[in-house]
Amino acid sequence: MASKSDFAPIEWARIVQAPLLAGFAVSCADPSSFLGSIQESFATAKLVVDGKNTHNNPLIQAVCQELATSNGRADAREGLRTISQAAKIDDMKKRSLEALKDVAHILAHKAPQDADAFKDWLKDIATKVAEAGTEGGFLGFGGIKVSDLEKATLDEISTILAD
């Protein structure tokens, strides 16, 4: 089973950022209202906190433990900040998906025994983020749970993480 010591620092940083990137890509696909954005952010945070307790995969637990530290959260946020820097919303989504491709590649080469469970966890995070807020409607009322743009992004994420 893989652990932090199995990865170069830049690889580990990318793996720690991956849960946030999965949620961020979906959020960028179809930006929600203020309330929807908060719900999507909380969904990601809840899944990371829960991952420490609900997954028996050591790599998922290690990432969740890292994100529970102030340094881990700061490093992960820095990754999102870099992706967002001077970018339009479509570019942020594309950059997030490219970063997830990098994660899939790193996992395939450095942690093949953990790759499937970790990628399934990322897909679950993306799905839960898509379902967290409603799209359209007014002040959080009405609208739909998962928009067509979010569904398309979930398909892209599934394709990326299937490799």
Per-residue pLDDT of the chain (163 residues; tens, 9 = 90+): 888 999 999 999 999 999 999 988 988 887 655 444 555 554 556 666 666 666 788 999 999 989 888 888 888 888 888 888 877 878 889 999 999 999 999 999 999 999 999 999 999 999 988 888 665 555 555 566 788 898 999 999 999 999 6
- 23-43 residue pLDDT tens: 889 888 876 554 445 555 545
CA–CA gap between residue 119 and residue 111 (Å, rounded) = 11
Quick: pLDDT tens for 134-148.
Answer: 655 555 555 667 888
| 108-138: burial string, b at 16+ Cβ within 10 Å, e else | eebbeebbebbbebbbebbbbbbbbbbbeee
Structure letter (DSSP) for residue 141: B
Full-model pTM: 0.84
Residue 142 gets the label, from left (phi > 0), alpha (psi -120 to 50) or beta, of left
Confidence (pLDDT) at 142 = 59
